[in-house]
Amino acid sequence: MSGKTKSREDKDHATKEPQLKGIVTRLSSRQGFQLQMQPDGTVNGTKDEDSSHAVFNLIPVGLRVVAIQGVQTKLYLAMNNEGFLYTSEHFTPECKFKESVFENYYVTYSSMMYRQQASGRAWYLGLNKEGEVMKGNHVKKNKAAAHFIPKPLKGNARLDPGLLNPGSQHLPPCPLPALPAPFGTHYLDQVLSQSGLKGRVVDFKD
């Protein structure tokens, strides 16, 4: 299962592109792989910790909700109603993932759109032991397949405060301080608070 691009030409299904630039990060799987998005849109795991295809923009798009965009491809990671992962040229509701902290600081990413109808169990982003993406409905949150550690790249995360405050359209991009691993987008919340910007972006407290 490779998770290749399935671009949506029907713009009625596309939603507004995220306005936050997000955190530039690598997503390290507990299975020993780096999540990567190849030029043809294939999503899988790689053992190459320096792969340029394993760098993502982790973009907060709601409360504990993120979009995962490949830096090289500019494609968004998405999950369809059958649990298959794919990549999309446009940001759609299927590109939204709930970001939750599991034990030992591992992070899980589950579809905001779909879950098991009977049990309500979430569908998760996951890699198997061979580094292949799994169907979301086959991934359990307490298994290593679903566990990732975001590793932000120092000096590459930038946030434009003007995009958060419509009345300040001409503010220059604001560089974020060095981001401590293993935490992900919740660190933006601390930065916004220290900068005097109103509103929480991502809250990891359940």
Q: How far apart are CA 64 and CA 19, in angstroms?
A: 16
Nearest one of 121, 149, 122, 118 to 25, comparing CA atoms: 149
* Residue-range domains of the chain with CATH: 1-206 (2.80.10.50)
Q: What is the pLDDT along the chain (206 residues), one digit of tens a residue?
A: 556 655 444 344 455 666 567 899 999 999 999 999 999 999 999 999 999 999 999 999 999 999 999 999 999 999 999 999 999 999 999 999 999 998 788 999 999 999 998 899 999 999 999 999 999 999 999 999 999 999 999 755 444 333 333 332 332 333 333 334 444 445 445 434 443 433 433 333 33
- Could you give the C-alpha distances from 61 to 22, 24, 129, 130, in angstroms and in order? 9, 15, 30, 31
Element containing residue 186 per DSSP (H, E): helix 186-195
The C-alpha torsion from 8 through 9 and 14 to 16, rounded to 10°, is 120
0.95 surpassed by pTM? no
